[in-house]
Amino acid sequence: MRRLLESLYAFTVPADPQNREWARRAAPLEIHERVLRFLTGPHQDVLDRLAISSIPPLDAMVEALFRSSVAEPFARTLRRVATHTIHFVHARDRARDPGSLETTLLLLERLTITVHLRIDGERSFARFKSRGFHPADLDNDPFRAFGVRWVEWCVSPPRRELRLIEEYDQTSRSLQSLMREARATTPSARWKALQALTGGGTLRLGPLTYRIPAQFWRAANPDWAISELAEGLLALRHTRPRRGLNRTAIKEQLRRQRLERDIGHAWTQYGRWLHGTPAMQHQVESLLGGFPLSPDTPSISTTNSNPLT
């Protein structure tokens, strides 16, 4: 039954930045209100953060039935899971790094996600009817599996993966600087300048060194902009292509890491706002056990060894 249910219902992985994108352009007060709803609200708060999509789309009656019979019990379960998790992790982190506002906010970022659930509407209801399944069966799979993965991610080290986007920024800035020095303002001039800079099959861009094989010149496009050249160099380093340069994979990773960085910036801004608004910070501290939170802590690491992220 597990495989069948997983074919009908699919969650976005908890650590996917899509689940935290809501904070990307949120004002600090908006983030604060969501945090307070999470810390004080009933299971309805989780239910409101359950984003259901279906192919084909569910009609209003069927979606209402699905929410009442499946989503509400799931939300109640997640509410309990989240409550236990935040108290456990906060107590653990307080012992390791007393009063860390930054670590506490990263935990809240992970717990206030929007849960994205995709269902195969027609197949799921047909299968449930033909095989005699009941919505309660979903308490085991895949809803429970999502809860386990969510908790595993919440208790994992507070790290944010940004290495690729940082390398891209460094590469792009270095290329721009070199092209200005070479007065290469057209694609053809940039291409010639790049070839001239790649002596002995090596291109040095600040602290970064790229080995440029002959196949790079065949796979790259002489008309690429600097941003596209930077993507090509990252593809050369990180995808090790046998044929061509897989810029598609690199572009997707860069998109996700840009989103991750924007989300991190939004929560950092919220932390600064919270520290500068004592009454608001006291609200959060009271709901977390009354311990004062200080922003004077080391920055969250940008490396990540967590396989769920």
- With respect to residue 142, please indicate whether it lies within any of the assigned structural domains: yes
Question: Which segment of 74-83, 147-156, 186-195 scores lowest on mean pLDDT?
Answer: 74-83
Which position has the higher pLDDT, 90 or 128? 90
Q: What is the pLDDT of residues 57-77, one digit of tens each?
A: 766 766 676 666 667 777 777
123 pLDDT exceeds 90? Answer: no
Same domain as 193, residue 141: no
Which position has the higher pLDDT, 152 or 142? 152
Per-residue pLDDT at 5: 53
Same domain as 110, residue 230: no
Q: Identify the burial level of 71 via C-beta atoms within 10 angstroms of its C-beta, where 0-12 means exposed, 13-18 middle and 19 or more buried.
A: buried
Per-residue pLDDT at 223: 95
Same domain as 168, residue 89: no
Per-residue pLDDT at 298: 42
Same domain as 24, residue 89: yes
In angstroms and rounded to an integer, the radius of gyration of the C-alpha atoms of the chain is 24
297 pLDDT exceeds 50? Answer: no
Determine the average pLDDT of the residues in 183-190.
94
- With respect to residue 252, please indicate whether it lies within any of the assigned structural domains: no
**pLDDT band per the 50, 70, 90 thresholds, residue 299:** very low
127 pLDDT exceeds 60? Answer: no
Domain span holding position 70: 2-154
274 Cβ contact partners less than 8 Å away, ≥ 6 residues apart: 28, 32, 101, 105, 280, 281, 284
Structural domain count, the chain: 2
Same domain as 145, residue 61: yes
Q: Of 245, 262, 296, which closes a domain?
A: 245
Same domain as 182, residue 237: yes
Which position has the higher pLDDT, 240 or 210? 210
CA distance 208 to 177: 14
Q: What is the pLDDT of residues 170-180, one digit of tens each?
A: 999 999 999 99
- With respect to residue 298, please indicate whether it lies within any of the assigned structural domains: no
Percentage of the chain lying above the pLDDT 90 cut: 41
Per-residue pLDDT at 24: 94
- With respect to residue 67, please indicate whether it lies within any of the assigned structural domains: yes
Same domain as 111, residue 180: no
pTM of the model: 0.81
Same domain as 191, residue 66: no
Determine the average pLDDT of the residues in 10-35.
93
- With respect to residue 136, please indicate whether it lies within any of the assigned structural domains: yes
- With respect to residue 305, please indicate whether it lies within any of the assigned structural domains: no
Per-residue pLDDT at 43: 67
Same domain as 168, residue 140: no
Per-residue pLDDT at 109: 93
Per-residue pLDDT at 10: 78
Partnered with residue 53 across adjacent β-strands are 118
308 pLDDT exceeds 50? Answer: no
Q: Identify the burial level of 238 via C-beta atoms within 10 angstroms of its C-beta, where 0-12 means exposed, 13-18 middle and 19 or more buried.
A: middle
Q: Of 215, 245, 275, which closes a domain?
A: 245
- With respect to residue 102, please indicate whether it lies within any of the assigned structural domains: yes
Determine the average pLDDT of the residues in 34-54.
79
| Mean pLDDT estimate for the chain | 81
**pLDDT band per the 50, 70, 90 thresholds, residue 250:** very high
Q: Of 217, 245, 273, which closes a domain?
A: 245
Determine the average pLDDT of the residues in 257-267.
96
